Amino acid sequence: MTEKAIRTEAGQAVDEPQGLGLRSRPILTVAEAMRAPGSRVEVCVALRVGRQRFEGLSAGVGLDVMEIRLAAEATLDAIHQAVGTERFILVGIKRLHAFDADVILVALRDQAKSARRYIGAVPVRSTNVHAAAAAVLDATNRILTAPNR
């Protein structure tokens, strides 16, 4: 087994994901949706990494369901700016009601050769947009701050 391999519960060796080496975790500072006439929605997400600020934008036409997708896309845009590469693809995002609470669940796929999936889940405490952005960070933070080998 190589240095980069880890063992699963079944005892199979799998490659450890390549980290992106950020020195600190991205902090969500802004997650807001602006609605325009005609169902047009624009979502802005800002992240702080150390002393730097990265802003992601995404726009589309739709209702509440579209807002959370746009929030996830805007968050990925900001993350990709921070790391300098487009590493993650949004597989899907959904708002669920479980255990008497609303939860945003996001699935991402790694574009690295391993093509791993990452899942993030965050309860909705303020807005769907904020929870969607936080769910993307929940899914990616382990990889963003892992050492770049």
Mean pLDDT of 30-36: 94
Q: HEC string of 96-148?
A: EEECCEEEEEEEEEECCCCCCEEEEEEECCCCHHHHHHHHHHHHHHHHHCCCC
Residue of 37, 22, 34 whose CA lies nearest to 58: 34
pLDDT over 90 (residue 137): yes
| Band (2; pLDDT cuts 50, 70, 90) | very low
Phi-psi region of 107 (alpha: psi -120 to 50; beta: other; left: phi over 0): beta
Least confident of 15-19, 64-68, 76-80, 137-141: 15-19
The mean pLDDT value of the chain amounts to 87
Mean pLDDT of 46-75: 94
pLDDT over 90 (residue 30): yes
Least confident of 6-10, 37-41, 140-144: 6-10
Domains of the chain: 21-144 (3.30.160.270)
Predicted TM-score (pTM) of this structure: 0.84
Mean pLDDT of 29-51: 94
Query: Please, is 127 exposed, middle or buried when counting C-beta atoms within 10 Å of its C-beta (0-12, 13-18, 19+)?
Result: middle
| Band (144; pLDDT cuts 50, 70, 90) | confident
Contact residues for 95 (Cβ-Cβ < 8 A; gap 6+): 65, 68, 102, 103, 104, 105, 124, 128
C-alpha distances in angstroms, 1 versus 5, 9, 10, 16, 122? 6, 15, 15, 11, 35
Q: List, for residues 4-26, the tens digit of each pLDDT value.
A: 444 555 554 455 556 666 778 89
Q: List, for residues 79-136, the tens digit of each pLDDT value.
A: 999 988 888 999 999 999 999 999 999 999 998 777 889 999 999 999 999 999 999 9
